[in-house]
Amino acid sequence: MKIKIHRFKNEQWGRAHLPFFEGFDKYLANFFEVENIDYNKDGNTFDGEINLINNSYASFGNCPPISDVDCVIENTVTGETKLISFGEYFNNYAVHVAKSESCTKVLLAHFNWNNVYHWMKRDNSIESLSKISPWIFLPFAEFDVSLYRKKRKNKKKLNDKLFWLGSGVDSYRKAVRIVEQKGDLQPIEPISHDQYLDKLIESKIALSYYTDLDKYNTPFDHPGEFCYRDIEYTLLGVPYIRIEFKDNVYDEFKPNKHYISIPREHAYTAYSKFGDVGVADLIIERYNQVKDDKEFLDYISQNQIQWSNKNLLNNNQYKLTYNLLELKKWKTK
């Protein structure tokens, strides 16, 4: 059986998805004859139309658009397609593949049950909802997880103050800056990725990257709630505080099992009354509740590591994707 893999390869800004796609190509070669088609011919084209066998893509015919965070896998015998997407804006491109009769499965890294309904309803494609499923999320870049886990395990004492590093803290991560100003956060400073990992494993508790409540309020806002930081914390077993997730991965992150949760209704109530200061105060309150609760923090950490081992390490990210796409069925056709 021959399959074609269609994508725009973005070596300039590959982030986590580029090594994943390349690794998944190799994994699929264990089961199929694989032809990779890179539409980025000049090195500077990161989205556009792809050429498929089947012509059931509405106004796009057999040339629907995708971007560099998307990947379409095509059965060259039947014309059936599968889509995997790390895109935050599913409704921009991938919906055109998802609603096609020839597409049988869609996996989204940024998945929200409520939003998917609205995206497909807007395109008059409710009948395609059953194709679309949550998937996985990844760290920013590959690193030696076992090495950093061992380093963290050997730390005799961890930094009690909350850990958070990233961009946008003064423009739209105002609650994070307020937590820092109140003295409960480690200093925010620009450092390399290796230095970031070293500082992370010295920390007892981290703070999730996305804490903004003035965004992500409709299905058509910036719809990505997961962050690379959350996955790096999880891989290394660093408990982190965040407002309860609305987004889902396939193997769901459960509040107060895989992360330290602030109930979403509490957060919105605090924000409506006191703005970002109210959210910051909730974070600090939750931090003070758990910072000395070793039993609870160890419980979170152990669950994070188990989740990571099951879903992201030792090629399990590829095995899971293969199974969720139901690609085994193609081997018998």
Amino acid at site 70: D
| 67/184 same-domain check | no
| 318/304 same-domain check | no
Between CA 156 and CA 161 the distance in angstroms is: 16
| 160/73 same-domain check | no
- The total number of structural domains in the chain stands at 2
| 94/189 same-domain check | no
Q: Which domain holds residue 7?
A: 2-138+314-332
| 158/65 same-domain check | no
| 28/132 same-domain check | yes
| 163/32 same-domain check | no
| 82/101 same-domain check | yes
Per-residue pLDDT at 332:
61
> Which alpha helices (DSSP H) does the chain contain, by range?
17-28, 94-98, 113-122, 145-153, 174-181, 193-201, 228-236, 264-290, 294-311, 316-324
Per-residue pLDDT of the chain (333 residues; tens, 9 = 90+): 899 999 999 988 768 899 999 999 999 999 999 999 999 999 999 999 999 998 665 567 788 899 999 999 999 999 999 999 998 877 778 888 888 889 999 999 999 998 899 988 988 889 999 999 999 999 999 999 999 999 999 999 999 999 999 887 877 788 999 999 999 999 999 999 999 999 999 999 999 987 778 777 788 876 678 889 999 999 999 999 999 998 999 999 999 999 999 999 999 999 999 999 999 999 999 999 999 999 999 999 999 999 999 999 999 999 999 999 999 999 764
Cα dihedral 249, 84, 7, 215 in deg (nearest 10): -50
CB 160 within 8 A of CB 274: no
| 79/120 same-domain check | yes
| 256/172 same-domain check | yes
| 326/280 same-domain check | no
Q: Which residue has the tokens 């974070």?
A: 283
Q: 105 is written with which tokens?
A: 């499965």
| 110/156 same-domain check | no
Per-residue pLDDT at 220:
80
